Structure 1
Amino acid sequence: MELPPRPTMFDFHGVSMSKYFTDNWENIQTFRARPDDILIATYPKAGTTWVSYILDLLYFGQTCPNRQTSIPLNERVPFLEISIPSLPTGKDLADQLITTPRLIKTHLPVQFVPKSFWDQKSRIVYVARNAKDSAVSYFHFGRMNNAQPDPGQWSTFLQNFMDGKVVFGSWYKHVNEWWEKKQTYSNLHYMFYEDLIEDSGREIDQLCSFLGLSPSVEEKESIVTGVTFDVMKENKMISFSTAQMMNHRVSPFMRKGKVGDWKNHFTVAQNEWFDEDYKQKMKNPTLKFRTNV
């Protein structure tokens, strides 16, 4: 397959977006959510695949084990807004799901989420990751993924990230506005990537409590073991190793999965400059991130 050219970014209702996430906009906005749907929402590179896989195992690991070895995760948990020529749209894949619940993922800012999810009171799991590691991971993702604009040099990308001039817009707005939504929408569970790294068992317990699930001790142990970074990286159904738009020779889709890798990328000056900018943009005292675990 000849790869289509990398997309350019444009302002879309106040958010930087690319055509691969806006070309199917009307169909996305009229998507019919169901009360038992579970939407996994994140800013890019915040543990979306990780939490998608955890949820897939919690619901279907015991009842449909064949799914795990025969259907790629991106078909089991479709990416709602994606629309790349010659590939099925995320919206179509979501419509075709026969599972209950349907697991669907999105990177949309809260104001772009289709109205039916709120109307149907669907459950939403939001995962947030600290800004520094998010920036680094998104930079490497842009290098290897032809569906993303060319990120350029690290210093250029970091400035763009701080300015919200990356696809899906400002990290600051994304995490803050979803946090604010949590205060008024009770079916929203807000998780932190760093907490998952620190103690995935504890975080899975909290997720089960939110979802009303009671896995057996053995089942939970099997999930905790199965969702470690190294195990997932070797799993071809999860690692996007067959995705035609991604060049894993440039950088693997599942690269490091650590907290604190930003220290290998930020110069001292960049870190000081970033911290100063962060203070200006992160005014909510109740939303706190960790850059080390």
Structure 2
Amino acid sequence: MNNAQPEPGDWPSFLQRFQEGKMAWGSWYDHVKGWWEKKQLYPKLLYLHYEDLAEDMDREFDRVCSFLGVCPTEEERHQVKERVQFDAMKKNSMTNYSTVSVMDFKISPFMRKGKVGDWKNHFTVYQNEQFDAEYQKKMMNTTLRFRTEI
């Protein structure tokens, strides 16, 4: 759906290229590790994980407020929490990329489902084992940990 990127091909081929870092934007592993390392050096970076937000929005909202040094009113909290829900963001042209001309929404929306663990519907057991092995190898020297389920 992103016409600025090369044709992704079928899922197995895409996954293989992703694992090898042969993407238009480079290696996902290098990108994520690079920012994680910067976070260790610069306290003005905050890492948020979608799974944590889905699990406990109030806890993560409090983390963001603390990080920013703000104390919103109850009304402001309510408004923000309402607007950052996946379905609200999926409908919002300011967050869903629908105003970006290279995105072809006739092919698919930019934001799909927002369901934690949906990867299980796309990965075979073998692909998951391969991904886990590659992840362990490429992320071994970092303290960064991702959850893929709640």
What TM-score results when the alignment is normalised by the length of structure 1? 0.48
SS in 2 for 1:201: helix
Change (3 A) 1:263 1:217: same
1:198 to 50, 55, 60: 55
Deviation at 1:243, TM superposition (A): 2.8
1:185 to 35, 42, 56: 42
2:101 to 228, 244, 249: 244
Map 1:65-214 to 2 at 5 A.
144-214=1-71
Deviation digits for residues 131-172 of structure 1, max 9, x if unmatched? Answer: xxxxxxxxxxxxx11011111111111011101111321121
Map 1:30-69 to 2 at 5 A.
none
Unaligned runs of 5+ in 1: 1-143
1:287 corresponds to 2:144: yes
More strand by share: 1
Change (3 A) 1:166 1:226: same
SS in 1 for 2:131: helix
Q: What RMSD, in angstroms, separates the aligned Cα atoms of the two structures? A: 1.6
Deviation at 1:239, TM superposition (A): 2.2
1:276 to 101, 111, 133: 133
The match for 1:114 is none
Deviation digits for residues 91-121 of structure 1, max 9, x if unmatched? Answer: xxxxxxxxxxxxxxxxxxxxxxxxxxxxxxx
Deviation at 1:289, TM superposition (A): 0.8
The match for 1:129 is none
More helix by share: 2
* Identity level (%): 59
The residue type equivalent to 1:184 in the other structure is: L
| Whole-angstrom distance in 1 between the partners of 2:27 and 2:142 | 19
SS in 2 for 1:188: coil
| Whole-angstrom distance in 1 between the partners of 2:37 and 2:101 | 37
**Range 158-167 or range 230-239, more displaced:** 230-239
SS in 2 for 1:215: coil
* 8 Å contact kept, 2:65–2:71: yes
What TM-score results when the alignment is normalised by the length of structure 2? 0.90
| Whole-angstrom distance in 2 between the partners of 1:224 and 1:213 | 15
Unaligned runs of 5+ in 2: none
List, as ranges, runs of 4+ consecutive aligned residues in structure 1 with deviation greater than 2 Å. 234-244
SS in 1 for 2:48: strand
Deviation at 1:207, TM superposition (A): 1.1
| Whole-angstrom distance in 1 between the partners of 2:83 and 2:70 | 18
* 8 Å contact kept, 2:33–2:142: no
2:121 to 259, 264, 270: 264
